[in-house]
Structure 1
Amino acid sequence: MDINKSIEKILVRPSSAVLRNLDLSDQSLEELPAQVLKTENLGILDLSDNALSVLSKGLCDLTTLQQLNVEHNFISEIPECIAQLKNLQAFDCSNNELETLSLALCALLELKVLGLQQNRLKTLPLELAKLTKLRSFKLENNPLGSIPAVIGQLSSLEILDLSDTKISALSDNFGALSCLKWLDLSINKFEVLTDQLATCKALVYLDISHNKIKTIEKNALGEGAALIELNMEGNPLKALPKAICQLPNLERLDLISTQLLRLPEEIGNLKALKYLNASFNYLEALPDSIGTLEALTQLDVSENQLEGLPKSFAALKNLEVLNIELNPLEHLPLVVCELMNLKDLDLTGIELTQLPYSICNLVQLKRLDLSENFLEELPPQIGELPALEILDLRENQLDAFPVEFANLRTLKELHLEYNLFLELGPEIGELVKLKQLDVSYNELEELPENFTQLQRLERLNLEGNALSTIPREVFSLQRIKELDLSDNQINKVPDLIANLAKLRWLDLRNNQLTELPMELGFLAEVLEELYLEGNYFREEEKEAIIDLLPKTNIYFDLD
């Protein structure tokens, strides 16, 4: 495409005099087309994702510009004439090669948004303090080493991103940022969080994740009355500072991988808390006060050392999402079955050998993950979950369903891989809303006759079973888009394969095939991927298949 001609068509239209927004992103531009520089009244210009190494001086004649985006180019210098863009309010020069910042940029007194992420800046000019209207300043992934003092003088700042800038402390004047609402200090070298933030009373969001913080001073966040979200992930805290438990409006708290040995009883003071993630720690128990977090809707304590849950847990009546996977519980605490609003429950790898009958109390449950346990059977009450849409039973020791399983009429996704099924009972055919079924790595030789009732099925995985033929029932499934039959003993693909008119992805690897039927050609317009490695096709047969499916990505064994 001739980009110059395309631009010319845009600019010579009768309405070109009032063209306000010009998007030239991702056009492989190495220089700014001359026609653009003649455009009057242009307010927004997007030159992102090109190959520009310099900004043309002519760009500075576009004095009506209010927004300029040049991110993802190769720009190493901002021209002095940019000072002429007196109306510029937003400038994004992120993902470029800037090593220094032009003083001319400091003359853009209307600037409210400045993006300089992922450049090579080591310092900032003091003259930036002139940008008194600056609201958003993003410096992520620049090798600053320390916070330039000028940042503390940008008194109107509301959003500041200093993530991955190799800083280890806040500047002395940082507390002057009284309007600051959103602050990202993640991926840096902080070891202590001191009290410079105490006067940032408007702070709503704070990310200090992935530092080396062991200590948070008592007054580090002041009263923290405005703070709603706090991310402390990946710091070696070992203990949660009690000061964190005094934040009256905190709604979201991330404590992932913080080496916690316990949660303090004071955590119950966080009455506004809606989301708590304390996964990947060393918690052996949860405090009784956890039950006073009445606003809590999501709790993740996966990958800890929990052996039980406190009785007070039953008081979490608003809890909707609970993840307790990979804890050595050995049984499902009955208090979980009292959480009537629970919609998502993850019990992966908690060493279960049975489910309590009271599981049926969870009438709003939409997703239940029981994978990687030791279940040999399911209780009949599993069929009394009227809202269940996703059920994951992979990697257990199941070989049959209770008859009541057929009552799961809302089920859309079912995972049964790596169990001991010799056959699927007729119950499976009653799950008429099922869209995705994975029964890979069992010992199936056939499918039940009523499998044909699964007319909404779009993804079917039969990999790693004992099929010698493709079950006829499969060819009645008109909506199938993805079909995996790999690692079986199939020696022939029936002509009926042509019935699967929506099939986009077919895996037949590691079977005993020597040819494919000509009828497969009826799928030439829809079949995108075909995997045939590990079979016995001769070269002439491979060529015939390629001719049959010219638009399909076909994978054979490497010669």
Structure 2
Amino acid sequence: MDFYRRILSFLFIFIAINNKLVSGILETKCVKHDRIALLRFKKALVDDYSILDSWKNTTTARDCCRWRGVGCNNATGQVITLDLSGVWSEELEQILRLNGDIDSSLLSLSALSYLDLSGNSFTRIPEFIGSLKNLQHLKLSNVELTSPGIPDQLGDLSNLQTLDLATTPFVIKNTHWLSRLSSLKYLNLSYIDLSESVGLLHTAINLPSLVELQLVNCLLPNNTANSLLDPLTNLSNSFSVLDISSNYLPSSTIYPWLFDFSGSLSDINLSDNELLGAIPEAFGTFSNLKTLDLMNNGLKGDIPSSFRNLSRLRELHLSGNNMDQDLPSLFDNLPVRSLQVLDLYGNQLSGSLPDFTTFSALTELHLARNQLNGSFPRKFQQNSNLSILDLADNRINGLLPDLSVFGSLSELYFERNLLQGTLAERLGSLYNLQSLGASSNLFQDTISEHHVSNLSRLVYLDLSYNSLSLEISLDWSAPFQLDIISLSSCKLGISFPGWLKTQRNFSVLDISNAGINDTVPSWFWESLNPSFRYLNLSSNQIYGSVPNLISGKLPLIDFSSNSFSGNLPLFPIDTIALILNNNFFTGPISSMCNLTALNRLDLSNNNLSGKVPNCWNSFDSMNILNLENNRFTGAIPESIGALQYVSMMSMRGNNLTGEIPSSLRNCTGLQLLDLGENELSGNLPEWIDESFSMLLVLSLPSNRFNGSIPTSLCKLDKIQILDLSGNNISGNIPKCVYNLSGMSKASTDASIEYNAIGLDRTRLTSRAYYVFKALLQWKGKQSEYRKTLGLVVSLDLSSNRLTGEIPDQITSLVALVAVNLSRNSLTGPIPEHIGLLRRLDFLDLSRNHLVGGVPVSLSQLSNLGVLDLSFNNLSGRIPKSTQLQSFDMSSYAGNPSLCGAPLPNGCPGDSDGLKGGSENDDDKEDDGKLISSGFYVSVVVGFAFGFWGLCGSLLVSDSWRHEYFEFLKMVKDQALVRVEISFSRFHK
């Protein structure tokens, strides 16, 4: 028995050794000739990232078939593929590239059929590549070249099937070489400048073997259509994929030749062109069509009924057009069985939601940003395969339906609609859900732990801006790991939510306005994801200090409107936005100098002190700078002028001294500049005109500016609010004020805002805006205007030392809502035509030396809510009108020669009152003598002639009758308007 065991063991060992020897013999090794060629090729390159580190001529690494990017023929050992495309590094966030020259040693690789050098940097594309006769696939996309250009010798590659030159910095003029590539099946010239290559498209689609043509964003010339009028030879079934998106070509260029390929094309991408009008019925003749992308054009109307014939259509993309069809009728024109992806985002579709479960193959439905105004169907007919359903930004109302038929849903979005009722009980059956966007609806509900216990795959959760309460215990261990957490305006309780301790992967957290009245526990700061992008704790009552936060991936941080205190901590060096306003932070802000990536910095309404740091030269992208209402001292630093892209700058309410730095003229993008309530001095700068052409708000009140108002201010043709009050400015009001055209045109934008930060799915963009604000002295008190700032047009020059007359030109600024020229030394009359300022709500000319009467045109200002003409030298009668008599005596006090209501003193010539009784009796007697028989006869005759003269004329003449009744209607309308105005004034 032992003998047989030994024999068997020997046989097994023999077989194993034999197999190893055989495999060693059969193992492929590259030929020496090719190995030497590759080493020569490597020598001409600069390999900073050791991409070719395995290419070594050593005993252990001599087999080039094992080298990175090298593939060999199994039988001959010859190199047949060389893939050296650049490698993306997550750690460095860049492509790792090879640099240098493409060496001619490649010609020694006689069997080479596949060459991919994409994503690298070379001197040029050498001409000898055209001599690689066996080459079938050449990929040079995203290549950086010192000497850009395509050698004509590429046309010699007669066996070439794939040519990819996308995103390479070429300008192709000569396309004759392309016509020689008779074997070419795939051609990609996307993002190459073809504006000077008129015949390229015609040449390309005439290639006899062409299957796929990619010409994305190539600047195809407008006369492309002319080159396509020549006869087309390639009308075979080979040409199936066409992408000429982002070329801004009109319908007249594309449609005439496109429909010649209705029998072959399966994938068509015409997005981002200039297709206008209705979608042609002819698209319904593409019998093999699988994908049609027409997004971001100017298409309108309906989807043609011929689309029902597209039995193979899987994807239809129509987002970003003006389709205005009723949604149920649109669904009737689509193939029910084949459609998998339907994208109608950003159109003007209306109606209710039909039962889309009838589309049995549908996996994605995008209906966001339309005008859908109905509700969900009461019941869905069948289970659905939908994985993505996006209904955001419509007016869908009613209750959420039973969602159990959507068991495959991974993404569900219906934010910013009018849905109401409960949400929690609809979530339990969505086991595959990864993203839920339900913000900005009318849900009133309480969500507890068991409602979300089945959502183990959830990574995106947005429940913001509803009336939702989260009753979750502080020590709850969630079954999911969220990346996006947005619970703004949800009720989370007064304690900081402890369940966040289990969330270790979030990059976005928004728990603003959540009713938290607590400190932030240390575990939260310590466990903060090093790659967090957005952290919003604003509008709570959180107190305590903030530790140093030194990690984050381009973070946006908002701690505003809390009770945080202490010195400013350190923030991640690549912080993009830092909003800390309305807290109790103290100390200097010099640590901000390290945050050079900032585009928005708001430190307003704290207790910060020291000087404004002089380090703004490095802030290339700053858009918002708000340091108002702190305790900063010293001068505004000269480096502030380096913020050439800043839109809003406010340093109001500090203790700043010195003059406005001349470098500020470089901030040419400013829309709002507020330096009020400081101790700034000097003259108003003359250069302010040429530099601030975009300026809407200029607020410099309560400083120590002197000198006169420079005429250069009149060139601020967009200015809507100009406040120079509370200074020592002297001289006249410039007559050139009529050039302030921004005060002559009524604005329709309620707010002046800058697109700032906010959560919008995975993008931190347009959901939130930074709304500019301004403080105005209005109706006796200082008021803050924010959401209606864009509607305020105001001129405030009060409390200065201005002299001379109020220029008549001011009456051309007809959009003015407020004018305050009080507390100056102005003389002369009030402009006679001031009544042209019909939008005026506030007019204060008090405490000057104005003379003359109150202009009658003032009575035309029906919107006037505040009027103060007190303490001048006005004289004469106050014009009689419901408007002017509605103000109390204080509006006219201090003008001794002014008379008439509402003042108690009457004007000369007014009646002295009723006379004695005997005189009245005589009058009555005389009156009685006038009523004689002749009087009655005259009345009857006059009535007859008057009545029939008028009524007869109206009966005889249609035109007179029409004009008469139109006149009566006008009188009625005017009477109603006057009653309405009087009623309004009575309430005021």
Equivalent-residue separation in structure 1 for 2:699 and 2:640 (angstroms) = 27
Q: 1:98-177 residue pairs with structure 2 within 5 A?
A: 98=278, 104-111=282-289, 112-113=291-292, 115=294, 119-121=300-302, 125=305, 128-138=308-318, 141-146=324-329, 148-149=331-332, 151-161=334-344, 164-170=349-355, 173-174=358-359, 176-177=360-361
Aligned with residue 387 of structure 2, among 195, 201, 204: 204
What residue is the counterpart of 2:791 in the other structure?
Answer: none
Name the CA shift for 1:150/1:107 in 2 (closer, same or farther; >3 Å): same
Name the CA shift for 1:173/1:379 in 2 (closer, same or farther; >3 Å): same
Say whether residues 1:370 and 2:549 are aligned partners.
no
Note the C-alpha offset of 1:531.
8.0
Name the CA shift for 1:466/1:208 in 2 (closer, same or farther; >3 Å): closer
Say whether residues 1:337 and 2:525 are aligned partners.
yes
Note the C-alpha offset of 1:107.
1.5
Aligned to 1:509, the other structure's residue is in SS state strand
Name the CA shift for 1:138/1:290 in 2 (closer, same or farther; >3 Å): farther
Residue deviations 1:248-304 (CA, integer Å, cap 9, x gap): 543321011341422242414323322211001122334248742553122111122
Say whether residues 1:181 and 2:363 are aligned partners.
yes
Q: Which moved more, 1:337-346 or 1:272-281?
A: 337-346
Aligned to 1:312, the other structure's residue is in SS state helix
What residue is the counterpart of 2:510 in the other structure?
Answer: 323
Aligned to 1:221, the other structure's residue is in SS state coil
Equivalent-residue separation in structure 2 for 1:343 and 1:60 (angstroms) = 45
Aligned with residue 228 of structure 1, among 410, 414, 420: 410
Note the C-alpha offset of 1:94.
9.4
Identity of aligned residues (%): 16
> Please, which runs of 5 or more residues in structure 2 have no aligned partner?
1-193, 206-214, 235-241, 725-731, 740-793, 796-809, 814-988
Equivalent-residue separation in structure 2 for 1:237 and 1:157 (angstroms) = 30
Q: 1:17-32 residue pairs with structure 2 within 5 A?
A: 18=203
CA contact (8 A) 2:284 2:307 kept: yes
Note the C-alpha offset of 1:231.
0.5
Aligned to 1:257, the other structure's residue is in SS state coil
Quote the RMSD (CA, aligned, Å): 5.1
The amino acid that maps onto 2:283 is L
Aligned to 2:467, the other structure's residue is in SS state coil
Note the C-alpha offset of 1:508.
7.3
Note the C-alpha offset of 1:170.
1.1
Aligned to 2:433, the other structure's residue is in SS state coil
CA contact (8 A) 1:347 1:370 kept: yes
Residue deviations 1:336-361 (CA, integer Å, cap 9, x gap): 43542144321222134x3x23x316
Name the CA shift for 1:105/1:501 in 2 (closer, same or farther; >3 Å): closer
Say whether residues 1:217 and 2:411 are aligned partners.
no
What residue is the counterpart of 2:541 in the other structure?
Answer: 351
Aligned to 1:198, the other structure's residue is in SS state coil
Name the CA shift for 1:214/1:317 in 2 (closer, same or farther; >3 Å): same
Note the C-alpha offset of 1:134.
4.3
Name the CA shift for 1:137/1:317 in 2 (closer, same or farther; >3 Å): closer
Say whether residues 1:238 and 2:421 are aligned partners.
yes
Say whether residues 1:415 and 2:602 are aligned partners.
yes
Say whether residues 1:191 and 2:376 are aligned partners.
yes
Residue deviations 1:104-148 (CA, integer Å, cap 9, x gap): 432221332054986332x75376234424422548542244464
Name the CA shift for 1:325/1:213 in 2 (closer, same or farther; >3 Å): same
Residue deviations 1:309-354 (CA, integer Å, cap 9, x gap): 44222111112221122222233442643542144321222134x3
The amino acid that maps onto 1:125 is S
The amino acid that maps onto 1:347 is L
Name the CA shift for 1:26/1:34 in 2 (closer, same or farther; >3 Å): closer
CA contact (8 A) 1:468 1:490 kept: no
Equivalent-residue separation in structure 1 for 2:669 and 2:654 (angstroms) = 20
Say whether residues 1:257 and 2:440 are aligned partners.
yes
Note the C-alpha offset of 1:425.
0.9
Name the CA shift for 1:219/1:539 in 2 (closer, same or farther; >3 Å): same
CA contact (8 A) 2:616 2:642 kept: no
CA contact (8 A) 2:424 2:445 kept: no
The amino acid that maps onto 2:226 is Q
Aligned to 2:397, the other structure's residue is in SS state coil
Name the CA shift for 1:11/1:298 in 2 (closer, same or farther; >3 Å): closer
What residue is the counterpart of 2:470 in the other structure?
Answer: 285
The amino acid that maps onto 2:464 is S
> Please, which runs of 5 or more residues in structure 1 have no aligned partner?
1-8, 66-81, 544-554
CA contact (8 A) 2:342 2:365 kept: yes
Aligned to 2:683, the other structure's residue is in SS state coil
- State TM-score, norm by structure 2: 0.41
Equivalent-residue separation in structure 2 for 1:485 and 1:172 (angstroms) = 55
Note the C-alpha offset of 1:155.
0.9
Aligned to 1:230, the other structure's residue is in SS state strand
The amino acid that maps onto 2:456 is K
Equivalent-residue separation in structure 2 for 1:479 and 1:429 (angstroms) = 16
CA contact (8 A) 2:280 2:304 kept: no
- State TM-score, norm by structure 1: 0.67
Equivalent-residue separation in structure 2 for 1:532 and 1:240 (angstroms) = 46
Name the CA shift for 1:395/1:131 in 2 (closer, same or farther; >3 Å): same
Aligned with residue 306 of structure 1, among 492, 501, 518: 492
Name the CA shift for 1:13/1:370 in 2 (closer, same or farther; >3 Å): closer
Note the C-alpha offset of 1:509.
2.7
Q: 1:36-51 residue pairs with structure 2 within 5 A?
A: 38-41=229-232
Residue deviations 1:185-237 (CA, integer Å, cap 9, x gap): 4535233474456342xx33211344235243253213x1xx43210323535
What residue is the counterpart of 2:483 in the other structure?
Answer: 297
Aligned to 2:594, the other structure's residue is in SS state coil
Q: Which moved more, 1:266-275 or 1:295-304?
A: 266-275
Note the C-alpha offset of 1:24.
12
Structure having the higher Rg: 2
What residue is the counterpart of 1:274 in the other structure?
Answer: 459
CA contact (8 A) 2:423 2:445 kept: no
**Relative contact order, CA 8 A, sep 6+: which one is greater?**
1
Aligned to 1:368, the other structure's residue is in SS state strand
Aligned to 2:365, the other structure's residue is in SS state strand
CA contact (8 A) 1:103 1:125 kept: yes
Going by fraction, where is strand more abundant, 1 or 2? 2
